[in-house]
Chains A and B, each alone.
Chain A
Amino acid sequence: MMRKRRTAITITLFAACLLVWLPLLVMAAAVLMPEDELYWRYLSPLGLGQDRVRAALLPSYPSLDSLLELLVRSPGFFKMFWNSCIQVFPMLLGQLAAAAPAAWALAKFQFPGKRQLFGAYVVLMVLPFQVTQVSDYLVLDRLGILDSHLALIMPGIWSALPVYIMTKSFETVPEALVEAAYLDGAGELYAFFHIGVPLGYPGIATALMLSFVDRWNALEQPVTYLKDRTLWPVSLYLPDIARDKASVAFAAALITCLLPVLTYLNCQEELEQGVAASGVKQ
Chain B
Amino acid sequence: MRRKIVPWLFLAPSLGGVILFTGLPFLDVVKRSFQDAMGTRFVGMDNYRAVLANSAFRLAAGNTVRFLAVCIPLLMTVSFTAALLISAGSNIGRESKGAADTGDRYSVFRTTLVLPMTIPAASMVLVWKILLCPDGVLNQFLSGASGRTWQVDWAFSRWAFPVLTATYLWKNTGYDMILWLAGLQGISGELYEAAKMDGAGVFARMWYITLPGLKGTFGLVGILSVVNSFRVYREAYLLAGSYPDASIYLIPHLFAHWFLDLDIQKMTAAAAMMTAIALILAVIMGMPGMKRRKR
Contact present between A and B (CB < 8 A): yes
A interface residue numbers (CB < 8 A to B): 2-3, 5-6, 9-10, 12-14, 16-17, 19-21, 23-24, 26-27, 30, 42, 44-46, 50-53, 55, 97-99, 101-102, 104-106, 109-111, 114-115, 117-128, 130-136, 138-139, 154-155, 157-161, 163-165, 168, 171-172, 175, 188, 192, 202, 206, 209-210, 213, 216-217, 219, 235, 238-239, 249-250, 253-254, 256-257, 260-261, 263-265, 268-269, 272, 275-276, 278-280, 282
CB distance A131 to B11 under 8 Å? no
Closest chain-B Cβ to A134's Cβ sits at a distance in Å of 6
A45 touches B278 (CB 8 A): no
The contact of B22 among A53, A160, A175, A278, by CB within 8 Å, is A160
- Assuming A101-B11, A158-B14, A269-B107, is B289 touching A44 (CB within 8 A)? no
Q: How far is the CB of B262 from chain A (nearest CB, A)?
A: 10
Q: Which size bracket describes the interface of B in this complex?
A: 35 or more
Is A44 within 8 A of B136, CB to CB?
A: yes
Complex contact A53–B137 (CB within 8 A): yes
- Summarize A's interface: helix, strand, loop or mixed: helix
A279-B26 contact in complex given A51-B135, A53-B140, C-beta closer than 8 Å: no
Q: How far apart sit A101 and B22, CA to CA, in the bound complex (Å)?
A: 18
Is A158's CB under 8 angstroms from B22's CB?
yes
Contact of B127 among A27, A114, A123, A192 (CB under 8 A): A27
Q: A53-B133, A109-B6, A257-B120 are in contact. Are A3 and B293 (CB under 8 A)?
A: no
Q: Is the interface of B mostly helix, strand, loop or mixed?
A: helix
Q: Does B243 contact A (CB under 8 A)?
A: no
Of B102, B108, B234, B255, which contacts A130 at CB under 8 A? B255
Task: A40 to B200: give the CA distance in the assembly, Å.
Answer: 60
Question: Can you list the 6 inter-chain pairs with the closest CB atoms, starting with the nearest?
Answer: A279-B186, A135-B25, A102-B14, A158-B17, A105-B10, A253-B123
Interface string of B87-122 (1 = CB under 8 A from A): 011001101100000100111111111111111111
Residues of the B chain whose Cβ atoms lie less than 8 Å from the Cβ of A134: 28, 32, 264
Since A118-B287, A135-B32, A275-B182 are in contact, a sample of 9 more A-B pairs with Cβ atoms closer than 8 Å, ordered by chain A residue number, is: A16-B82, A21-B112, A45-B130, A52-B140, A53-B135, A121-B18, A123-B279, A159-B22, A272-B107
Within 8 A of A (CB), among B273-291: 275, 278-279, 282-283, 287-291
Query: B126 near A249 (CB under 8 angstroms)?
Result: yes
Q: Residues of B at under 8 Å CB distance from A? A: 3-4, 6-8, 10-11, 13-15, 17-18, 20-26, 28-29, 32, 82, 85-86, 88-89, 92-93, 95-96, 102, 105-124, 126-131, 133-137, 140, 170, 175, 178-179, 181-186, 216, 220, 223-224, 226-227, 230, 234, 251-252, 255-256, 259, 264, 267-268, 271, 275, 278-279, 282-283, 287-291, 293, 295
